[in-house]
Structure formats: C-alpha cells, structure tokens
Amino acid sequence: MDYHSSPEPENAYEENKRDYKHSGPGIASFVIALFTLVCYAITFVYVGAQAASLMNENNKLIADSAETIMYLGLTVLILVAVNVIGAVTGIIGLTLRRRRKVFAITGTIINAVLLLLFMLLLSTVLVNAGAS
C-alpha cells in the first residue's frame, strides 16, 4: 500500500506573496511615523512663528518666553517617545511571518530617521552649550 500517492503533486499550491496580508504592527508603525512627522512640522512651524516674539531687539530671550520653550521641549520629548514606540512596533511587524512588510519597513525607517535627527539635534545643542 502506498499511502503517499495522490493525484495532486506535493506542491500543487504554492503560496504567492501577493496573497499575504499587510502586517498590523507594520501599518501601525507607518501611521505613527506619519503622525509624528506631521506633528514635528506643526511644532517647528509654530516655534518659527513665535521666534520673533521670543527675542527682543538685543537677541536676548525674554523671561516670559520660558513657558513657550517648556511646551516646545515637552512636545518634542513626547514625540520622541512616540517615535520609539513606532520603531519598536515596526520591528515587530518585520518579524511576523507570511505578512507583507512594506509598511513595517517604511514605518521603521521613518521612525529611526526621526530618532536619529533628534539625537543629532540634542548632541548639537549639548556641544554648543558646553562651548559657551
């Protein structure tokens, strides 16, 4: 008796990558990346608009602008935390098998670039603060 004989070949149906669904964490990472990108843009446009009122004619910071600077710092720190969550979610999306990884790759890259830019900005500020 031959138990292995069947009319269909062993690999009659090969899975096609187009049949895979997008990974949920990958989509979440991409959405988080786009959200933080828009929020960074809004924050820096707002700060640019407020920059004229933050400085007086001698280019000294006005004492009353401390609240605006605090909100800017707090906003950037919150967005960086959200970027870390987005990067981790993207990495999780990359590890899922039999899922499309387009959104996971894109979300992870955007979140990582934003985090690297934040670290570059922070290191530049710290170096300039140490130089003065």
The pLDDT tens digits of the residues spanning 75-92 come to: 999 999 999 999 999 999
- Which pLDDT score, from 0 to 100, does residue 69 have? 79
CA 117 to chain CA centroid, nearest Å: 11
- Which pLDDT score, from 0 to 100, does residue 49 have? 78
Structure tokens belonging to residue 130: 């140490």
Helix ranges restricted to H, 4-101: 24-54, 66-95
Q: How many alpha carbons fall within 13 Å on the CB side of residue 90?
A: 24
Regions of the chain where pLDDT drops below 70:
1-18, 51-64, 132
pTM reported for the whole predicted model: 0.77
Contact by Cβ (8 Å): 108, 27: no
Measured CA to CA, the distance from residue 59 to residue 55 in angstroms comes to 5
Question: Three-class SS of residue 111?
Answer: helix
